[in-house]
Structure 1
Amino acid sequence: MLAYAAQGLRSHRESPVGMQLRAHLERSILACRRLPDALQQAVEELALEPAEVYAGFMRVLKADADRARAVMELVLAQPDIGSQLIDNLNAVIHVRSLLTDLFVIDEVVDRFSAEAAVETA
C-alpha cells in the first residue's frame, strides 16, 4: 500500500497495482477479524503464562484490530480509492497500533519458542 500511496493517483482504476488494492484491503479486513482468535489459539497451544497478562494483551489487540478494520472498511466502501486516501490510511494511528501489537507479540512468541527449543535440546 505504501507504493500505491506514492503514485499520486486519483483512483485505483488508473493503475494495475491499484486494481489489486481492493483485494488487498479485503484480505487485510479478513485478517483483522481472524487475528484475535489466532492469537488466543497460539497462547493456549504454547501455554503462555501468566494467562491474565496475555488475556489483557489480547483485549488490546482485538480493540486495535477492530478499529483498524473499521477504517479499512470505510476506505473499501469508497467508489474510487486514490493514493491520498491510502496514504492517510497508512498513517491512521489504529493501523499503526495494530502493527506494533503484532511486532510485540511476534517478539514474545519468538523468544518463547527459542527458549523452549533450548530446553528440549
Structure 2
Amino acid sequence: MEGKRLSDLKNLEQDIDTIESGYEFLLAYAAQGRPPHVEAEHPTPHVGPTLKDMLAAMNNVTSALAGSDHEYEQVIVEDIRKASAALKFVIDQPKMSSELIDNLNASIHLRAVLTDCFLYSEVFRPSAGETAEPTDGDTKGKGMWTEA
C-alpha cells in the first residue's frame, strides 16, 4: 500500500466491493435452479452483466497493482489472471445456467481472488482512533492509517 494515494485506494476499495458483491449475486443465481438458457430469451435477473462487471473490476485491480514490487500484490494479480480466464470462459458460453454458475463459484481461482480481496481490503478499514489517511509506509505496528 506504500506510495498509493487515497483516491487510488478508494478506487481499489470500490473494485473489491464490486467483486465481492458480484460473487454474492452469483451464489444467489446458482441457487435458483435455472436450466441452460439464452439470457436474452429468459426473464431477469441476468448473470452476464454481473460477470462483466466483476471482470472489469478485476482488470482495474490488476492495472492498479501490476507495477507493484510488493509480493502479496503480485499474488493478487496472478490469482486475478486465473479467475479472469474462468470468468471469460463462462461469459463466452451461449447459454447460462445455475449449474454453470455454481461450478464457477466453486472454482478455486475465483475463491482465491475473494480471499485475497477480503485480506487486502482489511487495510482500507481504519481502526478506532485512526483516520483514513495513508501513512508514508512507516507503520511500526499501527496499520496503514495515520492516527487522528
> Same fold by TM-score, threshold 0.5 exceeded?
yes
Work out whether residues 34 and 98 of structure 2, in 8 Å CA contact, stay in contact via their aligned partners in 1.
yes
Greater Cα shift, 78-87 or 6-15: 6-15
Aligned residue in 1 for 2:34: 9
Aligned residue in 1 for 2:82: 67
Q: More strand by proportion, 1 or 2?
A: 2
The DSSP-based 3-state class of the residue aligned with 2:45 is: helix
Aligned residue in 2 for 1:85: 100
TM-fit CA distance, 1:37: 2.9
1:8-34 per-position Cα deviation (integer Å, ceiling 9, x unaligned)? 11124433112xx11111111111111
Aligned residue in 2 for 1:57: 72
For the aligned residue pairs, the C-alpha RMSD in angstroms reads 2.4
Work out which of the residue numbers 61, 66, 69 in structure 2 matches 1:35.
61
Instruction: Identify unmatched segments of 5+ residues in structure 1.
Output: 42-50
Higher relative contact order (CA 8 A, sep 6+): 1
TM-fit CA distance, 1:40: 6.5
Aligned residue in 2 for 1:44: none
The total of aligned residue pairs comes to: 106
- TM-score if structure 2 supplies the norm length? 0.63
CA change 1:106–1:40 in 2 (3 A) is farther
1:42-98 per-position Cα deviation (integer Å, ceiling 9, x unaligned)? xxxxxxxxx85xx10111000111111100000000000110000011110000000
Letter of the structure 2 residue corresponding to residue 5 of structure 1: A
The DSSP-based 3-state class of the residue aligned with 1:16 is: coil
